[in-house]
Every structure is written in C-alpha cells, then in structure tokens.
Amino acid sequence: MGKIKLTFSPWIARKMGAQGSDQFVLEKEIEEGAKIGDVFNELALDEPDFRKLVFNPEIGQVGDQIHVVLNGQLLTFTEAVETELHDGDLLFLITVSTGG
C-alpha cells in the first residue's frame, strides 16, 4: 500500500467545488499494482463533477480537454489510464488551453 498526491489545476478545482483560485491537492491511498485509471474510477464514483469533467468510467477514458502529468511527464490518453502508480507518485491534472 502506498500514497500518491493528486493536484487539480485551479479551473478543475473550482468546478469541483474548491474555494478560491488555488490548486487543490488530494492525498490518496493506493493498493499495490493500482493504475491511474483505478484511482480515476474511484474518484468518478465518489465525485459526480470529476466524472463530468475529468474521467468517464463507462468508457474508461480521460476527457479530451484534460492533460495528466505523472511525476513531471505528460502522459498520452492511454498512459493516463493504464500506467501503474507507486508510493510517492505525483499526479497533476490540467486543462488544455487553446485560443488565439
């Protein structure tokens, strides 16, 4: 068993009900062999806004406007679900920014 830190960008944090404009950090216990998708699935079941904004457990996919960064490395959509987590890992969820 281990622990990870999951940090939400300010926009995601506000949409999930956090106050203020700062990032929101959540510490999460993980089982040996847990994958990012397992953590996201659990959060999607507990938090309807996470399900709506970040992860759809019915299709097992991260939203197309979300980037997942693990220990400073940007993950592909497949990696964002299938990568195994380890004690002390840092996950950061950010939104895609576009415009001109």
pLDDT tens across 22-69, in order? 788 999 999 999 999 999 999 999 888 899 989 999 999 999 899 999
State the average pLDDT over residues 63-89: 95
Superfamily of structural domain 2-95: Beta-grasp domain (3.10.20.30)
- Whose CA is closest to 71, among 55, 84, 54, 88? 88
Contacts 24+ apart (CB under 8 A), 14-20: 15/49, 15/53, 16/47, 16/49, 16/50, 16/53, 17/49
pTM comes to 0.89
pLDDT at 13: 86
Residues 74, 39: Cα–Cα separation, whole Å? 17
pLDDT digits (tens, 9 = 90+) for 62-75: 998 999 999 999 99
Q: Which is more confidently placed, 15 or 72?
A: 72
- Whose CA is closest to 62, among 90, 89, 96? 96
